Amino acid sequence: MPQPAIDSDRIRALLEGDAIAQAIELMAILPLSSLRLSRLYLPQGALAGIQLIDARLDEANLTGADLTGADLTGADLTGADLSASQLSRARLGGAVLHGTKLWVADLTDADLSGADLRRADLVGANLSGADLSRCQLLDASFEGARYSRTTTRWPTDFDPQRRGLVPID
């Protein structure tokens, strides 16, 4: 029996409804890439381990969402709100986070290598152990963000203390 067609609209309806577990289950077993979920509204969403590779999540509201271990490699999160979100161990390599709000987000051990964080707001974020090598950080705000001197990786010539970050070790 053929599988039902799954598209961005169906996934959005499941995520924004009360069927988050069903949406995550479908996304785990079907070959989904480049989902278009612009302006998704899912504050406090339980999305740990979700795979949204190359997805369009621009202007999404994911405040307080649990994205622990999520794979958002290459995703477009331009202008999204991820304030107070749990992004520890998330994979965001090559993602576009231009103008994204990451206030007090937990990015512990997250892979952001090569991500575009221009004008992103990381005020108060936890960047301990995060890999920000090769990131574009022009005009990003880091006031009060925390990092590890020994495990957080930065682009060449980036001085975290000069940008207002606070070492935790």
Give the CA distances from residue 116 to residues 7, 12, 94, 112, 139, in Å, rounded to whole numbers and listed in that order: 27, 25, 7, 9, 11
Are the C-beta atoms of residues 62 and 45 closer than 8 Å to each other? yes
In percent, the amount of the chain with pLDDT more than 90 equals 68
Query: Is the residue at 25 inside a domain?
Result: no
Q: Quick one: CA torsion of 98, 92, 84, 132, rounded to 10 degrees?
A: -80
* pLDDT, position 4: 45
Query: Is the residue at 26 inside a domain?
Result: no
- Residue 9: other Cβ atoms inside 10 A: 11
Query: Is the residue at 10 inside a domain?
Result: no
CA distance 92 to 71: 7
* pLDDT, position 51: 85
Residues spanned by the domain of 113 = 35-169
- Domain count of the chain? 1
CATH number at residue 134: 2.160.20.80
Are the C-beta atoms of residues 113 and 132 closer than 8 Å to each other? yes
Quote the pTM value.
Answer: 0.85
* pLDDT, position 119: 98
Query: Is the residue at 66 inside a domain?
Result: yes
pLDDT grade for 13, boundaries at 50, 70 and 90: confident
Phi, psi at residue 111, to the nearest 5°?
A: -100, 105
pLDDT grade for 5, boundaries at 50, 70 and 90: very low
Query: Is the residue at 41 inside a domain?
Result: yes
Mean pLDDT of 135-163: 96
Give the CA distances from residue 33 to residues 36, 52, 75, 106, 157, in Å, rounded to whole numbers and listed in that order: 9, 7, 10, 25, 35
